Structure 1
């Protein structure tokens, strides 16, 4: 069977990793060398051992989830013991990748579900460094989510008349491309990029509070951000909206929407 080390010849990680790292999984020597090169020789290594997790600045899981008999438990134990500000780098097979590469589908750990779990378990920054059709590279940093600049500032982006019911358009908010949509009941704002495979949601199909990505047909609720089909994907990032009733203007900030108690 083809190994990930046969497909991945280098790692592109910015900013470069540093400090004390371990590598767990398959062909750890190969991936340790890739990591060492990506760090410009600033990474030091020690063999992986669960009792040493608290000493690490970073841990690379190379095919570790798809080859473990209980990957959920493994991931939970690792995330509990890594110290604050440490980095977890995961390289594994796409759960919906081609069957000609990698293990059986039931052994693969889905990237979207992985990202959700990492956020729930204290990793506020979770980034997909590479979304290859066959594999993915995800980086997660333990700690609070970093704040975007200007999150408290609302930007006027459109007039209410420009956004009739069941329509959407893209707007720029401090350099971020944001989609604003009218569900017929309210105005919402969300990220243009699909969490699954970076499809452009503004090119998708909007039906009231749901949107289908044009790339694979995955569906999200744009009010809650929850994935609907399939339901084990990552959540859609949403932004705060307010309406200037006097001037009939739509205003958006990069802060997440405020929760309303039911």
Structure 2
């Protein structure tokens, strides 16, 4: 079910999530700094200044190791949280500073575009795959801290990518020692001519099982791959103008000269 006023809901949701993350890093950071004790850290600094690294200084570091560890971790958490707050505060003060607002307003008057997106979503024809929405005019990706908004007609190139994960292991029952494939990640990569949303990528990982139900595990992997390919099929059905499928030449052309790639595909450069 689509929430009322979808875009406004997503802006509030991402602000809320960023605010929670900010608190969950700043508060523990302050606590760890307090536990670590600034006084102990100042003693260590003074010891460094007073003389070169020696046995006494090493003993001082060992005796204050936990305080030093708490201080370092707490300081990193606090800095990380303050950076997140630096991003959050402007969004709360000025609605227009939110990245979602900018991506929606890229296509015209914010209220009009947001309403168009909402109407597209409440129609029965929209599709949802994992965190990807595909409507009559839009393709969007929802994450914990963002909503990427892309007009369907801006999709230039889309393809499937399969990546393998390997670990050095001995698999029971198999005469094999060394790097072995343990998982495959099936991804759909969508490139666009929109400079604010140049790429979307959705992925699903399949853990390989060589010890129990090998056949069933292989079928599950095929189902996951087929599910991801459904995204490409839906995109191609709604937007056949784009290029579908991967090749090394296409990849080299895209990253070497994106503007030429877009023009050669029959699109104007935004």
TM-score by length of 2: 0.25
User: Which of the two has higher C-alpha Rg?
Assistant: 2
Q: Which has the higher contact order (CA 8 A, sep 6+)?
A: 2
Bigger strand share: 1
Bigger helix share: 2
